[in-house]
């Protein structure tokens, strides 16, 4: 019998299973060079082969015999060692399996996504025959019977209840979809001089249609994607093959970068000098950066006090010290806007991370950060996991905002995680807000955080006047959406040629559908909240889980007619404004209207352009 291999090192791996512990695996000699912290590995768990992440390379000899890893899936690590303590802390603090936590932190598409499917059992078949036609259980069983093995469109807890009754068998499956670098084939001259001489002498007959234009296109560009050539020239494939065989052209594979940055909004002018309150706040930040130790500061600055300029100069100072910075904002649209501003002043070593990027774009951004090609990352909540190895500054703007709380598993508060990551990596954490959260302000006044204040607006601008209007005082025969006071303010503003922004924190057309007979509202089957009426598609929708139905003619509770809609949302407000001001261009910006990629940015850009080109209401938004 061959001698048993004596392992010299092993890996501590977090597997993507609902398990809290990690496992040690032996590393075969031929995989030692590739098995690094941050790489994905395929490992055996009981009778399965599952995906996991390397958290540690253990050099000591192991007394017990270990199972060996099957393979390493990555050429380069997806995260560095400095992030491992953060993942471990979050897994313990938020009670979530560390392997699944890491999978959620990495860009979607890097890993094979998992989903739940189900098969119906004999007991389930019997229940399907006996259950009421209106019951949700019968609907789920019927769907599973018709769609075995497909992704379940129902909440997991509902399906698991049926599994406990023995009606279903729930299975976890992996999708085949996977994101990889974007590779393209470039067509370029093998020797530029040869192609130039060919076109100049024309000694060889260029018989094919568009042949001269084809060769000139390749020559002028120095390299054209094959896809572009075949779209521009109907005989492109033939011409590429012909001149490649003659040795004049060659096909060259390249990896392209999917850049999510589009046309940038015009950046605001750079101030010639800072105001006193900005200088004082910035000096406090610089002192902490120079010390190079962990500290949390709360920048309490009123709206319009110039916090963004302080953020920029703090980031610039961190970069001058050879450190990297992470800038977190609560909204994706704000991240896109700030990325344009900072790119115009700091150059191209900036990455952006948020959920509206395509899987390919987010993959490319993540790998740029991992390779050290980035000094500043701007993003929303998930950017807290950006793999920056020289992190020296973390900024959490509008730190009070509820958007930093992740509501889906793994549930976490990104502001708190930012403080923990700063402590683990010795970075300065800067929390900024005009209305700080109670927790942060308490920590500041008790000395746990350093308090930096900017109580005045730049240029001594006065605070805007605010007027409250109680809609109960509005006459019942008046406008239920726009009060007389608001209507007067709208008229005066538009008459002067100025623009208007109206905020309403309600999506949809109507807020609630009620039955006039039984008085019950139409509610979500999954969340038990009132469904919101949306005009597009005439549907009722739950804004929590996405459940939707067509607007019924009869009440599902008592079967009576006469369902009536109450309340209003952004769709109805938009309709009312178009009735009042038919000659004005009105844009609605909510989650429903900006689903198409880049639409939010386009609305902001058109609105900004109107501010610079007044008197042209046909091309730009006024409200």
Chunked in runs of 10, what are the mean pLDDT values of the chain (623 residues)? 54 91 90 90 85 88 78 91 96 95 86 75 90 87 88 83 88 64 78 73 63 80 80 83 84 68 58 88 95 95 92 95 96 84 86 85 89 94 94 96 91 96 96 95 96 89 85 66 90 90 90 84 86 86 86 85 85 91 89 76 74 47 63
Q: Is 339 in contact with 307 (CB distance < 8 Å)?
A: no
> Residue 411: is it exposed, middle or buried by C-beta count within 10 angstroms (0-12/13-18/19+)?
exposed
Q: Is 235 in contact with 210 (CB distance < 8 Å)?
A: yes
Tokens in use for 589?
Answer: 């910006």
Domain 10-105 has CATH 3.40.1440.60: yes
Three-state secondary structure of 266-317: CCCCCCCCCCHHHHHHHHHHHHHHHHCCCEEEEEEECCCCCHHHHHHHHHHH
**Rounded alpha-carbon distances, angstroms, from residue 369 to 334, 351, 362, 391, 618:** 21, 7, 11, 11, 43
Interval 250-260: pLDDT, tens:
888 876 655 56
Q: Report the CATH architecture of 291-460.
A: 3-Layer(aba) Sandwich (3.40)
Among 399, 412, 368, 359, which Cα is nearest to 386's? Answer: 368
**Rounded alpha-carbon distances, angstroms, from residue 578 to 566, 587, 600:** 20, 10, 20
Chain centroid to CA 430:
22
Domain boundaries, the chain: 10-105, 114-174, 182-256, 291-460, 478-612
Chain centroid to CA 504:
23
Residue 544: the pLDDT is 82
Q: What is the dihedral of CA 373, 376, 380, 386, to 10 degrees?
A: 50
Q: Is 350 in contact with 378 (CB distance < 8 Å)?
A: yes
Interval 466-519: pLDDT, tens:
888 888 777 555 567 888 889 999 999 999 888 999 999 888 998 888 888 888
pTM higher than 0.75 for the full model? Answer: no
Residue 174: the pLDDT is 63
């Amino acid at each position: 019998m061959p001698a048993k291999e004596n392992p010299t090192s092993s890996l501590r791996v977090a597997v993507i299973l609902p398990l809290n512990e990690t496992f040690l695996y032996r590393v075969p000699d031929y995989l030692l060079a590739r098995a690094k912290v941050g790489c994905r590995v395929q490992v055996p768990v009981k009778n399965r082969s599952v995906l996991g992440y390397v958290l540690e390379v253990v050099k000591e000899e192991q007394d017990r015999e270990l199972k060996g890893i099957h393979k390493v899936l990555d050429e380069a690590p997806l995260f560095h060692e400095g992030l491992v303590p953060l993942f471990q802390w979050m897994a313990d603090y938020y009670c979530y399996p560390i392997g699944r936590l890491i999978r959620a932190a990495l860009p979607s598409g890097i890993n094979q996504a998992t989903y739940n499917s189900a098969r119906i059992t004999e007991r389930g078949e019997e229940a399907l025959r006996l259950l009421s036609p209106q019951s949700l259980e019968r609907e789920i069983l019927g769907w599973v019977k018709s769609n075995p093995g497909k992704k379940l469109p129902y909440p997991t807890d509902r399906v698991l209840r049926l599994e406990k009754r023995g009606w279903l068998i729930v299975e976890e499956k992996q999708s085949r979809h996977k994101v990889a670098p974007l590779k393209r084939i470039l067509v370029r001259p093998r020797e530029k001089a040869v192609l130039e001489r060919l076109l100049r002498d024309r000694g060889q007959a260029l018989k094919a249609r568009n042949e001269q234009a084809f060769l000139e296109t390749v020559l002028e560009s120095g390299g054209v994607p094959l896809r572009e050539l075949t779209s521009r020239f109907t005989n492109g494939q033939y011409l590429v093959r012909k001149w490649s065989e003659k040795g004049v052209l060659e096909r060259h594979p390249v990896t392209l970068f999917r850049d999510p940055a589009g046309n940038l909004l015009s950046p605001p002018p750079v101030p010639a000098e800072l105001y006193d309150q900005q200088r004082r706040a910035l000096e406090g930040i610089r002192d902490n950066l120079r010390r190079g130790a962990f500290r949390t500061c709360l920048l309490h600055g009123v709206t319009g006090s110039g916090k963004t300029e302080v953020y920029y100069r703090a980031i610039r100072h961190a970069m001058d010290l050879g450190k990297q910075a992470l800038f977190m904002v609560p909204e994706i649209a704000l991240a896109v806007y700030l990325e344009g501003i900072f790119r115009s002043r700091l150059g191209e070593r900036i990455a952006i991370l948020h959920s509206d990027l395509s899987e390919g774009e987010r993959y490319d951004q993540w790998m740029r950060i991992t390779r050290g090609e980035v000094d500043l990352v701007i993003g929303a909540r998930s950017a807290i996991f950006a793999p920056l190895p020289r992190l020296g500054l973390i900024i959490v703007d509008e730190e009070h905002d509820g958007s930093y709380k992740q509501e889906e598993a793994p549930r976490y508060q990104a502001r708190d995680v930012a403080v923990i990551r700063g402590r683990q990596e010795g970075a300065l954490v800067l929390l900024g807000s005009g209305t700080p959260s109670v927790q942060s302000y308490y920590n500041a006044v008790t000395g746990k955080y350093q308090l930096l204040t900017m109580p005045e607006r730049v240029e001594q601008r006065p605070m805007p006047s605010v007027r409250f209007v109680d809609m109960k005082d509005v006459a019942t025969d008046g406008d239920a959406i726009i009060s007389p006071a608001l209507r007067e303010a709208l008229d005066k503003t538009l008459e002067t040629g100025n623009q208007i922004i109206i905020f309403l924190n309600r999506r949809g057309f109507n807020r609630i559908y009620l039955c006039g007979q039984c008085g019950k509202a139409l509610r979500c089957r999954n969340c038990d909240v009132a469904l919101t009426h949306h005009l597009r598609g005439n549907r009722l929708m739950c804004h929590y889980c996405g459940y939707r139905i067509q607007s019924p003619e009869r009440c599902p509770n008592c079967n009576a007619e006469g369902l009536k809609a109450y309340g209003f949302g952004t769709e109805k407000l938009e309709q009312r404004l178009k009735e009042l001001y038919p000659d004005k261009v009105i844009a609605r910006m909510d989650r429903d209207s900006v689903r198409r990629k880049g639409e939010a940015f386009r609305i902001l850009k058109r609105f900004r352009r109107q501010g610079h080109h007044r008197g042209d209401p046909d091309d730009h938004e006024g409200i």
